[in-house]
Structure 1
Amino acid sequence: MSIIEERAKRTKWFMDARFGMFIHWGLYAIPARGEWVRSVERITVEEYDKYFEEFNPTDYDPKSWAKAAKEAGMKYAVMTAKHHDGFCLFDSKLTDYKSTNTKAGRDLIREYIDAFRSEGLKVGLYYSLIDWHHEDYPAYGDRNHPMRDNEEFKNKQHNFDRYLEYMHGQVRELCTNYGKIDIIWFDFSYDDMRGEKWRATELVNMVRELQPGIIIDNRLEASGESSGSIKTKNPSVYSGDFASPEQIIPPQGITDVDGDPIPWEACITMNNNWGYCASDKMFKSPKLIIRKLVECVSKNGNLLLNVGPDANGRIPDESLHILSEIGKWMKKNSKSIYNCGKASIEKPEWGYFTQNGKFLYAHVFDGNIGALPVPGIKGKVKKVRLLSDGSEMNLIDTWNIKEFPDYAFINFGPNPTATYPLPDETDTVVEFELI
């Protein structure tokens, strides 16, 4: 079986699930200025240590997180086991820089995994290839390191092989000590820090041996800036199982060099930061996020939606509200998301199509004057229903549509030529069962 065939087999559940939760959480929740605060503000290890000493998330309750994810209609989650600052939320035997050595005194990743599994959700772990705490990770002159322009680090010698042993060892721990892991989400490659610089083939082979069936993102050789060899017909061993566009939904989805679809997942924040940022109140509306989830699915992609819990371990109220509103819509319309992908019919001007076999879902964002024209299905429709409540709809045939024989027409009220408000202004979904 080829790499591409193996990838398709592994990602089947992922492509059916379509919607997941990203969780960025760590010491950076205390300064509350985003997860890159150490890099942006050039904070030294010594200065950052005060957050390690203080870390005590007394309200951490991953069971409530898992329930919120499930209620929102999410099928899987990915949580930061270690972010770029090097702090571990798991009980690694390879470092003292971990949650079990803080006032929390707990393996927070184990609790997350147990909680999300108990809700029937797939579990993923984010692991940063970058480490600003480890003394053997290159500092001076690196593009991202907090000490990149600190002259004290200019002549410091780093044993990068020793760092790689540490990094590989921690990945081994994550793949060994927590039962079945469904996703490992590496982040990220840049400049010459990519591919075999990470001993990527060795790392991937180890992960796949320890966790058969696990899916891996593409950032051992790529980043949010590019997809890497996953887009070729001859992908590398470490090309990953899915592409990971960040803070953008690709205009045409993501395909390989021949135009064939490949698995992809857009990772998106609810506001403008991944980690908790107390001043960032620029939250996207539930309406926008629902529509962007639909857009992802219509382009054969997934949406990984982020939450950034605060220093006490609480998901912000704004995020919980968004998740709740998405959940209300998903309860009525999830059939048009799960197991669906790009439709065989071109995108209409009033919204999007998603499709699952003979079922075509029209996601109507904008109302119409009179009847709504639906392209590409004239003469192919067996049945029409409003998905949210299953109520019958009919194709209409009135005097004022005679000039447009290539379209089927529907309306959302009894008078076929009248104008009615959409039943759901966020996204009204009409299910067409095709012949």
Structure 2
Amino acid sequence: MNRRNALKLGVSAMAGLYLSPLLGQSNILNTPAFKGPFEPSWDSLEKYQVPDWFRDAKFGMWAHWGPQCEPEAGDWYGRGMYEEGSRQYKFHVEKYGHPSQFGFKDVINVWKADKWNPEELVNLYKDSGAKYFMAMANHHDNLDLYDSKYQPDWNSTKIGPKKDIIAGWEKAARKAGLPFAVSVHAAHAWNWYDTSQGADKNGPLAGVSYDGKLTKEDGKGTWWEGLDPQDLYVQNHELSAKPSGDSSVHSQWDWGDGASIPTPEYCEKFHDRTIDLIDKYNPDMIYFDDTALSLWPVSDAGLRIAAYMYNKSLQKNNSVQAVITGKILDEQQRKAMVWDIEKGQSNTIEPLPWQTDTCIGNWHYDRRLYNDKRYKSAKTVIHTLVDVVSKNGNLMLNIPVRGDGSIDELELEIVKEIGAWMKLNSKSIYGTRPWKIFGEGPQQASAGALTAQGFNEGKGKPYTSEDIRFAQKDKTLYATVMAWPENGVAVIKSLAKSSSYHTEKIRQVKLVSTGQKLKFIQTERGLEVYFPNQKPEASYANALEIV
């Protein structure tokens, strides 16, 4: 039986095929956590409706920040530092020492976050136009960034910064009046950390094991005496049948392709940690870095978490105001939660709200991008936002945070420039809905297809003044011209006299950023809009209000 057919059999059939730690259905439904209409099944969760606050917000900011930002050496540092010969391995050996002697647990210990000012950053993001804020609650490195009842030793209140990071972010977001979201990634620590089980094959320390299989007893006389490294690394298990040193960790993201399957204890601990997070900090939204829900399909832990969060929100608000996102969703799963596309966007108007998540640099802070000035520009961010909104989506943007908790001056300028555009044009973004078509122009024909989680951003040609993106609100149509027309005239072909898309008489066209009424002529060629001689600020995307 192939994997796709196995998935169709549902969660009970998976128990035999994938050693699933599922509880009996009757036991699940009788536990107090599930009092409410939502049960831990896709059939039940598909009754979910995305709340209007999320649909109206359109733009959120994310602090994808944790101990892997401390080295300032980019993404997946806690994995890459154990890959002999890799860039991060070489960096680690030079900066900290060999990973048999100074492992990722030790990186956590030197992370102090001494310049972190959550209120300052959240207010900056709000001023830039963000309508919700998300903080990372844990990453694949398995450190909880909050006062974690079920990860009592390996959390940020006990080691490293010795601060409740999520509490700080939440307080700042609530004070700013922004919905508060958390991102949860720790379900994958089981296989993600498996490089820490290895050892060098070459050099003077060949054969000396890295620190991934250390035990509590090994800590005598060290700074971590009394702590069990296996509560962090969880590597007391066999490696996957297909070793992830060949990067098959990506193909194993849905626990297939020969992946080592987590134990029931691991799955239940993840479940309990996440319920604890929900109960302590009451997030309005959870982003899961998983195929569908966490640990699916080898466990129903993610289904139980989703049902719990929806029922809790319903009880509190008399309607479900919670949002949960996941990746690579099938048609039913897209009804049960919000589809998240990583570093990419849909190529059509989606029938249900969705979100893209991307960053201006790498997910974790990377000093090289700062030194080489390789961040995404504000122009690129705004073009992404306008395109995503035209297709019924939201944009969640990460601004990489340095290990010390600050952002650099280049990032600050980009955030401020985004804010300048939003202040002038946000009425064409917030609270809008897709029009009959998302847009027109040559750029879309060059856009890349989605692959895996997404990953098609930046593959199309640059936008020109021939590229238009549409959105509507009430009886107003917004058409954003994606570059300033150098000849002074923008032609919107979809609004031609004989167009079937817009049959009402056009009475007025305004440039949203200035409120200036523009001369226009509606011909068989299109709606010809005559732009002013003077360009407004941030004229790389020019929203027109058409009534």
TM-score (norm. length: structure 2): 0.66
Letter in 2 for 1:344: K
Structure 2 gaps of 5+ residues are 1-36, 38-42, 84-98, 194-231, 249-259, 315-319, 442-465, 498-503
Letter in 2 for 1:369: N
Q: 2:487 aligns with which of 351, 369, 379?
A: 369
Task: Please state whether the residue corresponding to 2:364 is helix, strand or coil.
Answer: coil
Larger deviation, residues 330-339 vs 52-61: 52-61
Query: Could you say what the CA RMSD is over the residues aligned between the two structures, in angstroms?
Result: 3.0
Work out the CA distance in 1 between the residues paired with 2:44 and 2:546: 36
Q: Percent identity?
A: 26
Match of 1:153 in 2: none
> Would the alpha carbon gap of residues 80 and 36 (structure 1) be closer, same or farther in structure 2, given more than 3 Å must change?
same
Q: 1:209 aligns with which of 311, 314, 322?
A: 311
Kindly provide the CA deviation profile for residues 6-38 of structure 1, in whole angstroms up to 9, marking residues without a partner as x.
Answer: 433x33211110000121111111222223012
Is 2:506 the partner of 1:381? yes
Match of 2:359 in 1: 269
Letter in 2 for 1:166: K
Query: Per-residue deviation at 1:407?
Result: 2.3
> Would the alpha carbon gap of residues 376 and 99 (structure 1) be closer, same or farther in structure 2, given more than 3 Å must change?
same
Query: Per-residue deviation at 1:147?
Result: 12
Is 2:137 the partner of 1:41? no
Match of 1:154 in 2: none
Match of 1:86 in 2: 142
Task: Please state whether the residue corresponding to 2:126 is helix, strand or coil.
Answer: helix
Task: Please state whether the residue corresponding to 1:77 is helix, strand or coil.
Answer: strand
> Would the alpha carbon gap of residues 118 and 370 (structure 1) be closer, same or farther in structure 2, given more than 3 Å must change?
closer
Is 2:234 the partner of 1:135? yes
Query: Per-residue deviation at 1:168?
Result: 0.8
> Would the alpha carbon gap of residues 119 and 276 (structure 1) be closer, same or farther in structure 2, given more than 3 Å must change?
same
Mapped contact 2:271–2:302 kept (Cα < 8 A): no
Query: Per-residue deviation at 1:327?
Result: 0.4
Larger deviation, residues 285-294 vs 205-214: 205-214
Letter in 2 for 1:164: C
Letter in 1 for 2:530: N
Match of 1:97 in 2: 154
Mapped contact 2:45–2:336 kept (Cα < 8 A): no
Larger deviation, residues 54-63 vs 366-375: 366-375
Work out the CA distance in 2 between the residues paired with 1:248 and 1:159: 30
Mapped contact 1:138–1:160 kept (Cα < 8 A): no
Mapped contact 2:179–2:284 kept (Cα < 8 A): yes
Query: Per-residue deviation at 1:422?
Result: 4.6
What pairs with 1:27-176 in structure 2 (closer than 5 Å)? 27-42=67-82, 47-95=103-151, 96-128=153-185, 129-131=187-189, 132=193, 133-135=232-234, 140-141=239-240, 160-176=263-279
Work out the CA distance in 1 between the residues paired with 2:246 and 2:150: 23
Query: Per-residue deviation at 1:198?
Result: 4.8
Match of 1:409 in 2: 528
Task: Please state whether the residue corresponding to 1:228 is helix, strand or coil.
Answer: coil
Match of 1:400 in 2: none
Query: Per-residue deviation at 1:148?
Result: 9.3
> Would the alpha carbon gap of residues 408 and 98 (structure 1) be closer, same or farther in structure 2, given more than 3 Å must change?
same
Match of 2:546 in 1: 432
Equivalences, count: 393
Is 2:337 the partner of 1:297? no
Letter in 1 for 2:399: V
Larger deviation, residues 353-362 vs 44-53: 44-53
Work out the CA distance in 1 between the residues paired with 2:170 and 2:510: 39
Structure 1 gaps of 5+ residues are 150-156, 256-260, 398-403, 414-419
What pairs with 1:182-197 in structure 2 (closer than 5 Å)? 182-189=284-291, 194-197=296-299
TM-score (norm. length: structure 1): 0.82
Mapped contact 2:72–2:402 kept (Cα < 8 A): yes
